[in-house]
Amino acid sequence: MQDRRFSDEELVAYLDGETELVPMAQIEAAVQEDPALAKRLEALRFDVTALQESFELLQPSRDVLGALPVRGRAPAKRPMAAVAMAACVALAVGFGLGNWTSGPERSGWVGYVAAYQALYTHATLDHIQQTPEQLQNELARVSAAVGKDIELAQLTALPDVEYKRGQVLSFQGRPLIQLAFATPSGVPMALCIMRREEAAVSEEALATMRLEGLSSAVWSDGAYDYVLIGGTEDGLVRRLGQALQSMQI
Amino acid sequence: MLGRWRKYSAEEEVAAGLPKVFPRIWRYAFSLTGSRDGADDLAQAACLRAIEQASKFQPGTHLDRWMFRITHNLWISEIRKEKVRKGGGMPMVDAAEIPDPKQDPERDYDRQEVLKSVLDLPEAQRVTVVLVYVEGYSYKAAAEILDIPLATVMSRLATARASLGRKFRDQRGMSRAR
């Protein structure tokens, strides 16, 4: 087998110690005996440690926070990663970061939605381009997750925002749907709907507030809780919230 | 009930593990996008996606590999497509984005040169080199993250090593070469 010709791929796998992929002992023996093979092997070597060290130069910035939509109570100078992560952790385990007052029964999920929305950047929705058919199919699947049947036309009829995407999230094991919109300038906005565990007798009037520094409208029809959140145009969010409430989406 | 407990547990595991994986994901995102802004956006989008899909994560498996896969898929499926569509070409790594030497100028200069030559590799080779040599994944793990055959990992690394070997040869001593 010593005259067997080894490919560059095999020689590289040998250098990388991939013992399961190549016959290490055979290659080693062949290199000892064949100067040409040894030369080829040398040509494939490089300083892996230097490569690893070179990547240590790449560290997330400590001052990119200003460019991110992490708002609210986050101190402006904290490392972006730490703040983004704090928000991630908070929302993933399901408690809110917002400094606000609301009924305790819905505070958990509303806080979750707010912390989640605060992570969205303009770029989050920028790249999403779906055909009306795709949007319709997605919407049928997503709205069914909370026992609703929302028509695409209801969402596309809203003034000043473009409907972009629907997805199912979960909060403490219960489904929560998020319907994402973008304003003409690209500001992300979301309508989140969650079914109440126990239907209440009465509706709850629409209330507007800032959650995580984002304009928000919160209301309920007794069976479902709704949050519309995004951007900082309080008037726009109030108007859209009222439109959604009146169409009993 | 058990299903609910499992789901919550997966979400918790993702939440708890994200901060530790984040710097690595960001570094990988930089090597894909070639800019700090691009890395911020991609790493952040990957975090969001991971949280959205946390219930799909199998507790007890490798969170880091799962995150790398999410980051890569996001790059392939959405962001790169958009970048190409807008810019009319593949994104290029901007050398100006690489940090300036500060503490140990000579050593950092060398490191910058090495970093640049890796970032100059074609994308397919670059991502494979980063996963195997920087992140230390086995060929098999890298193949799974990139969703490509093992043979493709091997050929990409062979091609990359041939060109990196040429570049590095005269630059530094070969004492630590492997």
- A36 and A90 fall within a common domain: no
User: Is residue A176 pLDDT above 50, yes or no?
Assistant: yes
Is A1 inside any structural domain?
no
- A15 and A89 fall within a common domain: no
- A48 and A95 fall within a common domain: no
Q: Band the pLDDT of A66: cuts 50, 70, 90.
A: very low
Q: In terms of Cα–Cα distance, which of A41, A58, A79, A117 is closest to B165?
A: A41
User: Is residue A64 pLDDT above 50, yes or no?
Assistant: no
pLDDT for the residue A76? 31
Q: What is the CA B176 to chain-centroid distance, rounded?
A: 23
Is A224 inside any structural domain?
yes
pLDDT for the residue B103? 57
* Average of per-residue pLDDT across B54-83: 85
- A53 and A70 fall within a common domain: no
- Render pLDDT for A177-206 as a digit per residue (tens, 0 to 9): 889 999 888 888 999 998 888 777 677 888
- A35 and A108 fall within a common domain: no
* Average of per-residue pLDDT across A76-86: 38
- A21 and A91 fall within a common domain: no
User: Is residue B101 pLDDT above 60, yes or no?
Assistant: no
Give A172 or A143, the one with higher predicted confidence. Answer: A143
The mean-pLDDT minimum among A163-172, A232-241, B91-100, B112-121 falls in: B91-100
Structural domains in chain B, sorted by start:
1-91 (1.10.1740.10), 103-178 (1.10.10.10)
Is A15 inside any structural domain?
yes
Distance from the first to the final alpha carbon of chain B: 52
Contact A57 B99 (CB under 8 A): yes
Q: Dihedrals φ, ψ of A60, to 5°?
A: -55, 140
User: Is residue A56 pLDDT above 70, yes or no?
Assistant: yes
Residue type, A96: G
* Average of per-residue pLDDT across A38-42: 91
SS (H, E, C) A71-138: CCCCCCCCCHHHHHHHHHHHHHHCCCCCCCCCCHHHHHHHHHHHHHHCCCCHHHHHCCCCCHHHHHHH
Last residue of a domain, one of A19, A36, A57: A57
* Average of per-residue pLDDT across B129-149: 96
pLDDT for the residue B90? 44
A247's tokens: 């169409």
Is A221 inside any structural domain?
yes
What DSSP element (H or E) covers B20? helix B2-33
Last residue of a domain, one of A18, A40, A57: A57
Contacts of A170 in chain B (CB under 8 A): 7, 11, 55
Give the single-character DSSP code of B163. Answer: H
* Average of per-residue pLDDT across A1-17: 83
Is A216 inside any structural domain?
yes
Q: In terms of Cα–Cα distance, which of B91, B66, B64 is closest to B79?
A: B91
The angle at the Cα of A173, spanning B2 to A123, to the nearest 5 degrees, equals 140
Contacts of B133 in chain A (CB under 8 A): 48, 51-52
Domain count, chain A: 2
- A82 and A18 fall within a common domain: no
Is residue B178 a contact partner of residue A45, using CB atoms and an 8 Å limit? yes
Range with top average pLDDT, A99-103, B39-43, B87-91, B100-104: B39-43
Contact B115 A46 (CB under 8 A): no
Structural domain including A231 reads 65-246
Is A17 inside any structural domain?
yes
A52 touches chain B (CB under 8 A): yes
Q: Band the pLDDT of B170: cuts 50, 70, 90.
A: low
For testing contact with chain B, the best of A6, A58, A61, A178 (most B CBs within 10 A): A58
- Render pLDDT for B15-55 as a digit per residue (tens, 0 to 9): 778 878 888 999 999 999 888 888 888 888 888 888 878 88
Kindly tell me the sign of the dihedral angle through the C-alpha atoms of A142, A126, B56, B141.
positive
C-alpha distance from A43 to closest chain B C-alpha (Å)? 6
pLDDT mean across residues, chain B: 80
Is A99 inside any structural domain?
yes
pLDDT mean across residues, chain A: 77
- A39 and A84 fall within a common domain: no
pLDDT for the residue A83? 40
- A70 and A42 fall within a common domain: no
Cα radius of gyration rounded to whole Å, chain B? 18
- A161 and A41 fall within a common domain: no
The ipTM estimated for the assembled molecules is 0.82
- A88 and A205 fall within a common domain: yes
Range with top average pLDDT, B22-36, B98-112, B146-160: B146-160
Q: Band the pLDDT of B85: cuts 50, 70, 90.
A: low
Q: In terms of Cα–Cα distance, which of A186, A191, A185 is closest to A219?
A: A191
* Cα–Cα distance for residue pair B130/B132, rounded to 1 Å: 6
Strand partners, A228: A191, A217
Contacts of B4 in chain A (CB under 8 A): 173
Q: Scanning every residue of chain B, which has its alpha carbon at the shortest distance from the alpha carbon of A174?
A: B4
pLDDT for the residue A201? 67
Q: Band the pLDDT of A85: cuts 50, 70, 90.
A: very low
Give A207 or A78, the one with higher predicted confidence. Answer: A207
* Cα–Cα distance for residue pair A147/A155, rounded to 1 Å: 17
Q: Scanning every residue of chain B, which has its alpha carbon at the shortest distance from the alpha carbon of A16?
A: B178
- A37 and A128 fall within a common domain: no
Is A166 inside any structural domain?
yes
